């Protein structure tokens, strides 16, 4: 990143000094190199700038103080959790204060009787799951980044995950939240009861809003009982991605709702196995990983049906596993696919979602796009709900390959739209998907978005230019 101009240095020094008057000095980062660490999330392909300053908030009141300062000075605030986003939603723009919530890591309450938990925004997803498990409860949303991503970030992007084909996405579990508005006011939204219909559902509005309407500092989450599930895994290997897609369509058409239905292609399998040595098969174009979790005979019957449908779709082999360690090993391959591919070069990540019946056709179009644009595309997918992640890899420093990758990205978005899909299933729009999102929403709906933004953030203080 290029050096700051004298004017930019002066502005950064002034902002840092005034923020240190508001907060403790150790909560404000002004060193240029350290600010660069907070300049972008995992979407390095999207635009970003060195932030004017970085603040490490510890309380909701810290967040409110920074927002009030920014609004008064005509600066913008970009909220950030762990920086694991894949769409540029946490990328700093000019005149930005990056407000990190990474120190807000307390699980404030677990109510076993009412089955909810209250967590600060910086709590890691897996830490929350462990905390509630100690009370016999379960928080289902499990993005592949669950060991490193924060609850606040999950809520801001309406994150999904492997279990979501059966158990739903983040929005389905958010009962309420404490937020800081664009003028620095603090409000509580939602409820802690099982039901509620008072007023507009502002909680749901803020889920997936990517920090553009308010900054979420605490979340109240609905939980499920931990027990009563008995996982069985079914793994099919296929000679082509399209055949694996046919199996997905057949399972869906049969009315079976797996607790997970994940696809990884040959390149992903090899990348993970070369890295971790999990003993995965290298002789198939795709693996389809399914689990069913009904206990007893119904679960065994469902697993047998899924296995039969995979065979009928042309699977080269179908294996079943009931041992929890073996199930975890197989799904570890799915969770590690993205970081394994990152070791091969910069990755441009897609997040399209198509109707489940269109999965085979979309997979075929992705292959054609890779050939047409002479790029390497590996594919992983939450196949059970049509959420595909084509991962476009370009060698580091190869600008021509990077341009071809961007063209392939755009082509995939167009094909997704042609098949009745949406540009993002769970990662959010951020910056990377703005053109596709605007086309998908249409001008009248975009105007509605702008009106909501103007009502809640008239000065454009909170993460402007993102999400729509």
Tokens representing 419 are 């098949």
> What are the DSSP E strand ranges found in 84-182?
96-100, 107-111, 116-120, 137-138, 174-180
Rounded Cα distance, 26 and 17, in Å = 12
174 beta partners: 221
- Residue where one domain finishes, among candidates 84, 100, 116: 100
Are residues 130 and 234 part of one domain? no
The answer to the question of residue 395 being in a domain is no
Residues 211 and 239 in one domain: no
Beta-strand runs (E) in 170-299: 174-180, 186-190, 215-222, 224-225, 232-238, 260-265, 286-292
The confidence score (pLDDT) of residue 5 equals 83
Given this model, what pLDDT does residue 282 score?
83
**Is 124 inside a domain boundary?**
yes
| Number of domains comprising the chain | 3
SS3 of residue 294 by DSSP: coil
For residues 123 and 70, state if they share a domain.
Answer: no
CATH number of the structural domain spanning residue 169: 3.30.465.10
The CATH number of residue 299's host domain is 3.30.70.3450
Same domain, 262 and 214: no
10 Å CB burial of residue 282 (0-12, 13-18, 19+) is exposed
- Does a structural domain hold residue 365? no
Q: Which CATH number goes with the domain that contains 60?
A: 3.30.43.10
Strand duo 387-393 + 352-353: pairing: antiparallel
Residue 2: its pLDDT value, please? Answer: 65
* Rounded distance between C-alpha atoms, residue 214 and residue 158, angstroms: 15
DSSP state, 207? T
Residues 176, 80: one domain? no
In a domain, 446, yes or no: no
Q: Are 128 and 151 in contact (CB under 8 A)?
A: yes
The reply to whether 232 and 318 lie within a common domain is: yes
Q: Are 189 and 133 contained in the same domain?
A: yes
161 and 236 in one domain? no
For residues 55 and 102, give the distance between their C-alpha atoms in angstroms, rounded to a whole number: 10
pLDDT, mean of each 10-residue run, the chain (468 residues):
79 94 97 97 93 98 98 98 97 97 98 98 98 98 94 98 95 98 98 96 98 98 95 95 93 95 94 90 92 96 98 96 85 88 91 94 95 96 95 92 95 97 97 96 98 98 98
Same domain, 208 and 136: yes
Pick from 326, 319, 253, 250: which is nearest to 284 by CA? 319
In a domain, 252, yes or no: yes
pLDDT at 332: 86
197 and 279 housed in the same domain: no
Q: Are residues 191 and 162 in the same domain?
A: yes
DSSP β-bridge partners for residue 382: 387
Last residue of a domain, one of 176, 208, 225: 225
Q: How far is CA 381 from the centre of its chain?
A: 13
Q: Residue 127 domain-assigned?
A: yes
Domain end (from 100, 123, 151): 100
Domain for residue 442, yes or no?
Answer: no
Question: pTM value?
Answer: 0.94
Q: State the residue range of the domain holding 52.
A: 6-100
Residues 124 and 34 in one domain: no
């Amino acid at each position: 990143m290029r050096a700051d101009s004298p004017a930019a240095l002066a502005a950064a020094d002034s902002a840092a000094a005034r923020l240190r008057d508001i907060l403790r000095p150790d909560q404000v980062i002004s060193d240029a190199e350290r600010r660069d660490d907070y300049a972008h999330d995992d979407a390095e392909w999207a635009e970003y700038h060195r932030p004017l300053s970085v603040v490490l908030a510890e309380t909701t009141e810290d967040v409110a103080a920074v927002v009030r300062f920014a609004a008064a000075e005509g600066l913008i605030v970009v909220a950030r959790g762990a920086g694991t986003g894949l769409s540029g939603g946490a990328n700093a723009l000019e005149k930005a204060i990056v407000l990190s919530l990474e120190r807000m890591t307390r699980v404030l309450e677990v109510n076993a009787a009412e089955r909810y938990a209250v967590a600060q925004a910086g709590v890691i997803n897996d830490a929350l799951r462990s905390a509630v498990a100690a009370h016999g409860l379960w928080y289902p949303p499990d993005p592949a980044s669950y060991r490193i991503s924060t609850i606040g970030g999950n809520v801001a992007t309406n994150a999904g995950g492997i279990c979501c084909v059966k158990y739903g996405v983040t929005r389905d579990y958010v009962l309420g939240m404490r937020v800081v508005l664009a003028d620095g006011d603090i409000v509580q939204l939602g409820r802690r009861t099982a039901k509620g219909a008072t007023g507009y559902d502002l909680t749901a509005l803020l889920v997936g809003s990517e920090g553009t309407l308010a900054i979420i500092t605490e979340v109240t989450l609905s939980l499920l009982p931990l027990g009563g599930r008995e996982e069985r895994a079914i793994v099919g290997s296929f000679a082509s991605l399209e055949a694996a897609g046919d199996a997905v369509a057949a399972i869906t058409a049969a009315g079976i709702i797996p607790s997970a239905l994940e696809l990884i292609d040959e390149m992903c399998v090899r990348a993970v196995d070369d890295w971790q040595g999990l003993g995965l098969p290298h002789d198939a174009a795709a693996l389809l990983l399914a689990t069913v979790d009904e206990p007893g005979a119904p679960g065994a019957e469902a697993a047998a049906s899924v296995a039969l449908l995979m065979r009928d779709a042309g699977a080269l082999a179908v294996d079943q596993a009931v041992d929890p360690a073996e199930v975890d090993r197989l799904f570890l391959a799915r969770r590690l696919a993205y970081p394994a591919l990152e070791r091969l070069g910069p990755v441009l990540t897609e997040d399209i979602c198509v109707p489940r019946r269109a999965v085979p056709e979309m997979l075929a179009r992705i292959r054609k796009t890779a050939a047409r644009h002479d790029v390497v595309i590996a594919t992983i997918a939450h196949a059970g709900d049509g959420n595909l992640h084509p991962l476009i890899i370009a060698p580091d420093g190869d600008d021509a390959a990077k341009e071809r990758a961007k063209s392939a990205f755009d082509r995939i978005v167009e094909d997704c739209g042609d098949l009745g899909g949406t540009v993002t299933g769970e990662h959010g729009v951020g910056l990377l998907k703005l053109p596709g999102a605007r086309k998908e929403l249409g001008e009248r709906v975009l105007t509605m978005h702008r009106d909501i933004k103007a009502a809640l953030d008239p000065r454009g203080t909170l993460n402007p230019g993102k999400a729509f």
